[in-house]
Amino acid sequence: MSSASANGIGSAYVANSGANQLTIVDVEGMAAVDVIATKSQPAGIEVSSDGKVIYVTEPSANDLMLISRDDYSPIGNVQVGTAPVAVTVSRDGKLAFVANSGSNNVTVVDTAAKTVVKTLPAGNQPKATALLPDGRTLIVANSAGGTVTFDDVSAGTKIADVTVERGPSAILLSADGKTAYVANKDGNAVSVIDTASRSLTATIATGVGPVDLAASPNGQSLYTADAGSNDIGVIDIAGRRLTDTIPVGQGPSGIAWNKDKSLLLVSNTGDSTMTFVDPASKTARQTIKLSKAPVSLAVAYAEPEPGTTVTGQAGVVVGTGGNQTVVRALPKTGLGGPSAALPVLALGMAGLAAAAAVAWRMARALAARSR
């Protein structure tokens, strides 16, 4: 069985604010394979928990763009507040919370109806949001205010503000939701907040300009994307201290894990690259070129089905189980790869039927793109 079958198909979606597009990265293959056009400069990005929809904020258009992961076609745009920069989607996928840095509030979007249902308060220039596991409390990082706001989602009101260091830019919740870690870009620190008491419990020094966060699988370490020092900081959570740094590209802006959490994917705004970091050896495994000015990323996985792309192969699965049949296929936008379909491999009667189904899906996707 191929690695794609064992581990699922992994894609990273990178928002390139300087190119008005998303780059699609094959996570296991460590390669940029395609792009998706956006209406204007993308900023924040998230994928729904079911892996079906990509949500992208577009600050200059004041909207939230919804993209289908089935064929990467746009399925909606919702007008939100001014200069939306980040989005968080609820676990059930029903609500999207959009941080509007220009209007100093958070827009709540009904994702099915694609309508605004509520506006939540925020501080000065909200930069990031996080939803507690119960879905009732939203946390907002206010980058110009040096505060973190706790909002009651149902009531639409503010519960409390917590003062942190300067320039809070990202929020990471612990697995149980009891602790919030806030990266403070201008304060060169991570603030640790008890979410139940809504109180600051610790401040940890970091590298220069932390703008994003990830936690180790065992919950013992934090990794910070330090935009000013061009590295990933390694923090011992229990010891409350920075223990190491890992060099990456220029201006790291986003950080996320692959599926088995053996590699960290880091988008670097300054040199428009992505670095694949091995935290165990504290080294960069691979660096690839992206479109201009990548500012954030999201990673999504899905088990392979007939008609979906196989990791490491420029094609589509037309068989199932351990003996997969592959059709080499034309990529959607021509970032490279074959210019026409190649012959089907090991094609039997079942493969012929599956290949026909794939051809139909491809034709449908192309027709949708041409409209």
Contact 23, 265 (CB under 8 A): no
Nearest to 52 by CA among 279, 300, 361, 275: 300
1 inside domain:
no
Supply φ then ψ for residue 208, to 5 degrees.
Answer: -90, 120
Question: Are 160 and 268 members of one domain?
Answer: yes
Question: Are 230 and 94 members of one domain?
Answer: yes
197 inside domain:
yes
User: Can you tell me the distance from the alpha carbon of 326 to that of 358, in angstroms, rounded to the nearest whole number?
Assistant: 11
Nearest to 101 by CA among 82, 78, 73: 82
User: Can you tell me the distance from the alpha carbon of 270 to that of 249, in angstroms, rounded to the nearest whole number?
Assistant: 7
The reported pLDDT for the residue numbered 301 is 85
Question: Are 273 and 358 members of one domain?
Answer: no
Domains in the chain, number: 2
Choosing from 269, 302, 335, the residue where a domain stops is 302
36 inside domain:
yes
Choosing from 247, 274, 302, the residue where a domain stops is 302
Pull the structure tokens for residue 130.
């996080």
298 inside domain:
yes
Q: Which amino acid is at 36?
A: I
Bridge-based pairing state of the strands 74-79 and 273-278 = unpaired
User: Can you tell me the distance from the alpha carbon of 247 to that of 107, in angstroms, rounded to the nearest whole number?
Assistant: 36
- Residues of the chain whose pLDDT is less than 70? 1-8, 302-371
85 inside domain:
yes
SS3 249: coil
List the CATH number of the domain containing 175: 2.130.10.10
Contact 272, 250 (CB under 8 A): no
Question: Are 268 and 355 members of one domain?
Answer: no
Supply φ then ψ for residue 140, to 5 degrees.
Answer: -125, 130
Pull the structure tokens for residue 40.
């204007």
Cβ neighbours of 148 (radius 10 Å): 28
Residue ranges making up the domain that contains 345: 315-370
User: Can you tell me the distance from the alpha carbon of 225 to that of 207, in angstroms, rounded to the nearest whole number?
Assistant: 9
**Which run of H or of E encompasses 361?**
helix 349-370
186 inside domain:
yes
Pull the structure tokens for residue 189.
């620190």
2 inside domain:
no
Question: Are 192 and 335 members of one domain?
Answer: no
Question: Are 334 and 233 members of one domain?
Answer: no
CA distances from 277 to 31, 211, 253 (A): 14, 17, 14
CA distances from 268 to 8, 17, 252, 257, 289 (A): 26, 12, 4, 15, 10
Question: Are 172 and 252 members of one domain?
Answer: yes
Residues 6+ apart with CB under 8 A from 228: 185, 188, 207, 208, 209
270 inside domain:
yes
Angle, vertex CA 212, rays to CA 39 and CA 256, nearest 5: 80
Pull the structure tokens for residue 36.
């998706």
Choosing from 281, 302, 323, the residue where a domain stops is 302
Phi-psi region of 169 (alpha: psi -120 to 50; beta: other; left: phi over 0): alpha
The reported pTM is 0.81
Question: Are 162 and 134 members of one domain?
Answer: yes
Question: Are 343 and 286 members of one domain?
Answer: no
Question: Are 206 and 347 members of one domain?
Answer: no
| DSSP assigned state of 363 | H
Nearest to 52 by CA among 66, 42, 33: 66
Task: Classify residue 336 by burial, with Cβ atoms within 10 Å: 0-12, 13-18, 19+.
Answer: exposed
**Which run of H or of E encompasses 351?**
helix 349-370
Pull the structure tokens for residue 174.
């612990």
Question: Are 333 and 258 members of one domain?
Answer: no
Q: Is the dihedral of CA 71, 44, 156, 164 positive or negative?
A: positive
Per residue in 128-139, pLDDT (tens digit) is 999 999 999 999
| DSSP conformation letters of 142-182 | ETTTTEEEEEETTTTEEEEEEE-SS-EEEEEE-TTSSEEEE
Nearest to 68 by CA among 13, 26, 28, 15: 13
Nearest to 5 by CA among 315, 321, 326, 260: 321
Question: Are 77 and 185 members of one domain?
Answer: yes
Cβ neighbours of 338 (radius 10 Å): 12
